[in-house]
Structure 1
């Protein structure tokens, strides 16, 4: 039988709130409470994001289940799971809880040292979260999350290497050993990480966050660089298209070109055609 956890500030079980007299059924139905999962609601003033959904799901968890994987990574420097993405829950293999709609349950071996609590949410520790991200998520997603977790100093590359070396025989160790060599804390966005991984998978090794100098003077720092070819790859997120940023980017591009560098600019739309992006980069590298 599932034992519900206590209510947390701003997040509550509808049935419990009614039973304890905080709300009537009519108030729950007519006021603008945010529904996070079946029978779980939040104050409308709280920002609706993946972490809030995790807080809601936490109220439903059996005592031996934890928020983990890509969801827990939001507390460790990698808040990349979207509000509509399923909440990842890890629990012991013998726990038969399936969770409500919008929850992804992974049954595994959990040890006492894997368990912690943050913001009243029971979750996996940073290192255990890293393991589950590497074993459960696609390669590029896993590397992007680990890049951010290392940059935020919640885990270290040395710790990840040790984790992979000690993982012989564990489920998913082959995935872990594939991800760890690709982790680089210099990345400054998840899309930059994903692009770097895609390049690595075809045998290309750009330098992240490379500082371009010309006659000994700083010109710009670029997302990814092939220094010998003087080729820069710049990922342009949404802020690059804001009015005050556009002239700054154009001026920066002019400085790079004046220093003898070529620049390939990659947008979110371009990332939907990675083969096309890779072809552009390879063609540019082929030009002497």
Structure 2
């Protein structure tokens, strides 16, 4: 049993707030050590079900969820954004932005509260990019790759033609008719799912769209060819529009 001044933090706090994608795949089914902290000077919990240390939290940083003391959604987003790796940071922050009522402006305005703290540079870099329209951590990372390639994508772009819905793309640059999609195993692996993807992408292609499809190995594999694929697709769309391939 945790002491009364313990607080659930980080990805487990995000999950308690309803942030889908905050936990690792399958973590909601298999118990993992909970992220729980104590106030400064209290040491750390030492048991098999929790993992954490000390953290200075103001009263406004703490709320109650299902009777548990938990960092607020805003504080949790700031904590998840202060990670070493931008991929992990943006995915965590995006997950909180999907929670109804989350205030992006308050989130951005509060970033400098953590000036001088560990990994503040990551929070400063990814915080303004946060967007709740990303539907999975992989989509957050794909959007970050597009940003790093200076490709101005719109998340979850709906394509309509003559009043008929043709497709919804994970990311798109509508004015150049180029889209970037992440095909994860959960939603794009069965024969039925693949056939559905094929039909909608062929319909979009007939309307002049270039569609770049990325998979797990492109974003996370040793080669990590996502940047090359993104730049190539964007360059092709610019060249077709009579623009320079270089931007």
TM-score, reference length from structure 1: 0.70
- Distance of 1:228 and 1:195 partners within structure 2: 20
- Distance of 2:55 and 2:118 partners within structure 1: 9
Consecutive unaligned residues in structure 2, runs of 5 or more = 240-247
Q: Which residue of 1 aligns with 2:12?
A: 71
Q: Which residue of 2 aligns with 1:280?
A: 229
- Distance of 2:84 and 2:118 partners within structure 1: 14
Q: What secondary structure sits across from 2:187 in the alignment?
A: helix
Count of aligned pairs: 229
Offset at residue 247 of structure 1 (A): 2.0
Say which of 145, 159, 163 aligns to 2:92. Answer: 145
Q: What secondary structure sits across from 1:264 in the alignment?
A: strand
Classify 1:213/1:154 alpha carbon distance in 2 versus 1 (closer, same or farther; 3 Å).
closer
Consecutive unaligned residues in structure 1, runs of 5 or more = 1-58
Structure number with the bigger relative contact order (C-alpha 8 A, sep ≥ 6) is 2
Classify 1:198/1:91 alpha carbon distance in 2 versus 1 (closer, same or farther; 3 Å).
farther
Q: Which residue of 1 aligns with 2:106?
A: 159
Q: Which residue of 1 aligns with 2:132?
A: 185
Q: Which residue of 2 aligns with 1:204?
A: 151
Q: CA offsets, 1:217-247, max 9 Å, x none?
A: 5422210112243211111122222233222
Classify 1:278/1:173 alpha carbon distance in 2 versus 1 (closer, same or farther; 3 Å).
closer
Q: What secondary structure sits across from 2:191 in the alignment?
A: coil
- Distance of 1:227 and 1:89 partners within structure 2: 44
Offset at residue 215 of structure 1 (A): 5.7
Range with bigger deviation, 84-93 or 190-199: 84-93
Offset at residue 120 of structure 1 (A): 3.5
Q: Which residue of 2 aligns with 1:110?
A: 57
Q: Which residue of 2 aligns with 1:36?
A: none
- Distance of 1:201 and 1:106 partners within structure 2: 34
Classify 1:249/1:87 alpha carbon distance in 2 versus 1 (closer, same or farther; 3 Å).
same
Q: Whose Rg is larger? A: 1
Offset at residue 261 of structure 1 (A): 0.7
Q: Which residue of 2 aligns with 1:194?
A: 141
- Distance of 2:128 and 2:44 partners within structure 1: 35
- Distance of 1:240 and 1:157 partners within structure 2: 31
TM-score, reference length from structure 2: 0.81
